[in-house]
Amino acid sequence: MADKSHPRPNRPALALHVPEPPFRPGDTPDFSSIKVPAAGEAPRPDIAADAEATFPLCTHLVRVLDEQGRAVGPWDPKLDADTLRKMLKDMKTVRVFDDRMYRAQRQGKTSFYMKCTGEEAIAIAAATAMDPEDMHFPTYRQQGLLVARGYPLETMMCQIYSNRGDPLQGRQLPIMYSDKKHGFFSISGNLGTQYPQAVGWAMASAIKGDSRIAMGWIGDGATAEGDFHSAMTFAAVYQAPVILAVVNNQWAISSFSGIAGAEQATFASRAVGYGIAGLRVDGNDALAVYAAVQWASERARTNNGPTMIEFFTYRAEGHSTSDDPTGYRAKGEAEEWPLGDPIARLKAHLVTLGEWDEERDAALDKEIDTTVRAAQKDAEKLGILPQQGFDDIPSMFEDVYSETPWHLAEQRDQALAEAREFLGRDPA
Ligand SMILES: Cc1ncc(C[n+]2csc(CCOP(=O)(O)OP(=O)(O)O)c2C)c(N)n1
């Protein structure tokens, strides 16, 4: 047998490529290498186009809003002013909600929070473009779906505080909402699960002869999970009526998108390899997001197959309240991000149309601030997280089995005994 301990002469030594983000703390971010095509440039194929025909759009970027805030090109969804204003209001509401809940976490009122700053257009415009009966399988950064569908802000906050108003009874990590009525499937802490679930739900909808479609959501980092690939296979094989969104915000906590393969190919281009239509979309352009989701919805609804949409965006803040991005990425990246701020861009569009002005904008900001504060006040009347410690301990062990198994009964009694000992009285 050949001696493998010595490299063979005259052959290059094998090496691996380990992706490194272009900028680290201390560097000056410069995104000039990112190609940003002009708004209006991308063609809009027929909704029944072959998956393969969408390939050029997987390396391009569907954009509608130009630098002056005008809507241009074949993807312009030509929305009426009321719809545009509602989207602006919802996006601003999400940002204010995020800021107040972030602060609430810092004040010790809850244990955890996750913002979606810079990504507000994606969930809001997607929800606006789909039917209210369609089902979403979101990750933790699509709070905009609930806001756009009119879910009460106070109930979202009660979930974050795990208080008496929490419909999930404190059984989920803060921000992991669930609401069937609003077509919002329970968020899972295990990344990737929502993709096969969305495909399965969409297949079931088709098997039942229903007309509702599903949309599954995933982050760039989580596309490296096996669930992503099995979902794509099922969606392609059965031509499931589903839209599969990849929110490429460049970061997966401290790992940059290159670790999930972004250096080699765009996430959108993976779609075509499976036989799925793919679109790569400016995620900071609410109109482009709307138009792409509308296109994919029509395609799914008319049995023309699934679509995977990569929303190209930037996670403007930390991953969560437990994260400090200054430890791994350069300062000022969000400001340098070439696609701008989605809220400012939609506002500029409305102003350009003559349907908005600074006075109305300031009044809207005030109204949202008042609404969010009022919701927070009401939610806090039902308790904040640190006050929940000994509330209704037995409920932790309910609602899974019709009859509590002996080992859970034992744990429940033990928990009650410990609480009794700690409090010096029976827990509430
Ligand atoms: C299966 C699994 N692996 C790892 C984690 C830990 N984790 C939570 S969020 C996260 C980053 C996900 O990044 P990405 O998918 O890009 O979404 P983003 O947070 O950027 O929206 C990781 C690794 C997890 N929750 N589940």
Residues 62 and 179 in one domain: yes
212 is a domain residue: yes
Same domain, 366 and 410: no
Q: Number of folded domains in the chain?
A: 2
Residue in the structure block whose two tokens are 């010595």 = 6
373 and 412 in a single domain? The answer is no
Same-domain pairing of 412 and 301:
no
Q: At what angle do helices 81-106 and 120-129 cross, to 10 degrees?
A: 140
- Quick check: 27 and 330 in contact, CB under 8 A? yes
255 forms bridges with which residues in the sheet?
252
Residue 125 covered by a domain: yes
User: Are 146 and 95 in the same domain?
Assistant: yes
Closest ligand 1 atom, CA of 219?
15
Among residues 289, 249, 338, the alpha carbon closest in space to that of 90 is found at 289
In the chain, the percentage of residues whose pLDDT exceeds 70 is 98
Q: What is the mean pLDDT of the chain?
A: 96
Asked, for residue 13, whether it belongs to a domain, the answer is no
Q: pLDDT tens digits for 363-404?
A: 999 999 999 999 999 999 999 988 877 778 888 899 889 999
Identify whether residues 131 and 215 lie together within a single domain: yes
Residue 282's DSSP bridge partners are 312
Q: What is the pLDDT of residues 58-111, one digit of tens each?
A: 999 999 999 999 999 999 999 999 999 999 999 999 999 999 999 999 999 999
Rounded to the nearest angstrom, the distance between the alpha carbon of 405 and the centre of ligand 1 is 33
My answer on whether 92 and 118 are in the same domain is yes
Is residue 281 helix, strand or coil? strand
Identify the bridge partners of residue 242 per DSSP, sorted by sequence position. Answer: 214
CA of 415 to the centre of ligand 1 (A): 32
- 407 and 303 assigned to the same domain: no
**Residues 167, 56 share a domain:** yes
Q: Could you tell me if 189 and 223 lie in one domain? A: yes
| pTM given for the model | 0.96
Is 63 among the domain residues?
yes
| CATH of residue 68 | 3.40.50.970
Pocket test for ligand 1, best of 98, 114, 253, 314 (most atoms within 8 A of CB): 253
Q: Ligand 1 atom closest to Cα of 192?
A: 1
Does 64 fall in a domain? yes
Confidence check: pLDDT of 4 > 90: no
Closest atom of ligand 1 relative to the 220 alpha carbon = 16
| From 98, 114, 188, 191, mutation site for ligand 1 pocket: most ligand atoms within 8 A of C-beta | 191
What local confidence, expressed as pLDDT, does residue 359 receive? Answer: 98
Residues with CB under 6 A from ligand 1: 141, 189-191, 219-222, 247, 249, 251-253, 315, 319
Separation of first and last alpha carbons in the chain = 74
Domain extent at residue 73: 51-321+328-386
Q: Is residue 1 part of a domain?
A: no
Is 404 a member of any domain?
A: yes
pLDDT, tens only, 198-255: 999 999 999 999 999 999 999 999 999 999 999 999 999 999 999 999 999 999 999 9
- What is residue 309's three-state secondary structure? strand
* 236 C-alpha to ligand 1 centroid (Å): 25
Kindly give the distance from the C-alpha atom of residue 187 to the centroid of ligand 1, in angstroms, as a whole number: 12
Residues 189 and 268 in one domain: yes
| Ligand 1 centroid – CA 222 distance (Å) | 6
In a domain, 239, yes or no: yes
Nearest CA to ligand 1 atom 3: 191
Q: Based on the domain organization, do 196 and 336 belong to the same domain?
A: yes
Nearest CA to ligand 1 atom 20: 252
Q: Are 122 and 291 in contact (CB under 8 A)?
A: no
